[in-house]
């Protein structure tokens, strides 16, 4: 096998590999689009819409107490915010 044959074969293999990856990305994008249509058609995103509209409809004021978290993720975020606030307050007192 000569060098030109090897280069030709490696070029074909490279183009084939790039084609497979490109095809996979196209299929992935199309399937994500179909999934988005499916979720919206069956109203599976209701919970997200309720949380987004309730949080954005009323402005947050500095003097109000934080609301009770409705999910464990929100509770974790509250704990993280409290830890950051305590660290900042401790740093400022030094």
| pLDDT tens digits for range 31-45 | 999 999 999 999 888
Asked whether residue 65 carries a pLDDT value surpassing 60, the answer given is no
The pLDDT value recorded for residue 25 is 98
| Residue 25 token pair | 């990305």
Better pLDDT: 76 or 51? 76
DSSP SS3 for 63: coil
Inform me whether the pLDDT recorded for 87 exceeds 60. yes
Q: What is the pLDDT of residues 46-57, one digit of tens each?
A: 766 666 655 555
Q: What distance in Å separates the CA atoms of residue 73 and residue 91, rounded to the nearest whole number?
A: 27
What residue segments make up the domains of the chain, in order of their start? 1-44, 70-94
């Amino acid at each position: 096998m000569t060098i030109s044959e090897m280069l030709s074969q490696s070029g074909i293999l490279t183009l084939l590999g790039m084609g497979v990856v490109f095809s996979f990305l196209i299929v992935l994008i199309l399937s994500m689009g179909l999934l988005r249509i499916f979720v919206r058609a069956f109203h599976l995103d209701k919970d997200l819409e309720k949380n987004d509209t309730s949080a954005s409809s009323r402005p947050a004021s500095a003097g109000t107490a934080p609301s009770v978290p409705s999910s464990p993720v929100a509770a974790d975020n509250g704990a993280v915010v409290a830890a950051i606030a305590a660290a900042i307050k401790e740093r400022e007192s030094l």
